[in-house]
Amino acid sequence: MGNLIKSEGYKLRKDRAFQLLTWMLIAISFLFPLLEFDREGSAPPIVNDYYRNEILGVHTNIVKLIPSILAGFFITSEYSMGTMKSIASSGNSRLRIYFAKLAMFSVGAIVISLILPMIMTGASAIYFGFDDMPEWTYYLQTIGLIILYSAAFASIMAVFSILFTDSGKTIGFLLLFFMFVDWPLQVLAAKAPFFEPMISHSVFKLVYDIVVIDQLKGTEVLIIVVIPILTFVAFGLIGSFIYQKKEIK
Give 10-48 pLDDT, tens digit per residue. 888 888 889 999 999 999 888 888 876 666 666 777 888
* Type of residue numbered 223: I
What local confidence, expressed as pLDDT, does residue 147 receive?
94
CA distance 185 to 191: 10
What local confidence, expressed as pLDDT, does residue 7 receive?
82
Q: pLDDT digits over 96-154, tens only?
A: 888 888 999 999 999 999 998 999 898 888 888 877 888 889 999 999 999 999 999 99
Average pLDDT over residues 221-234: 94
- Band of pLDDT at residue 217, cut at 50, 70 and 90: confident
| 121 and 34 Cβ atoms separated by less than 8 Å | no
| 238 and 159 Cβ atoms separated by less than 8 Å | yes
How many Cα atoms are found within 13 Å in the side-chain-facing hemisphere of 60?
16
Q: What are φ and ψ of residue 41, in 5° steps?
A: 80, 5
CA distance 161 to 73: 9
- CA distances for 162 relative to 94, 192, 244, angstroms: 12, 31, 11
Q: CB atoms < 10 A from the CB of 70, how many?
A: 26
| 67 and 157 Cβ atoms separated by less than 8 Å | yes
Q: Cα dihedral sign for 12, 30, 119, 56?
A: negative
How many percent of the chain have pLDDT more than 90?
Answer: 28
What local confidence, expressed as pLDDT, does residue 154 receive?
94
Residue 161 has pLDDT above 80, yes or no: yes
Q: pLDDT digits over 41-80, tens only?
A: 667 778 888 888 888 877 777 888 888 888 888 888 777 6
Q: CB atoms < 10 A from the CB of 118, how many?
A: 15
Beta strands in 49-141 (DSSP E): none
- Band of pLDDT at residue 94, cut at 50, 70 and 90: confident
Residue 76 DSSP symbol:
I
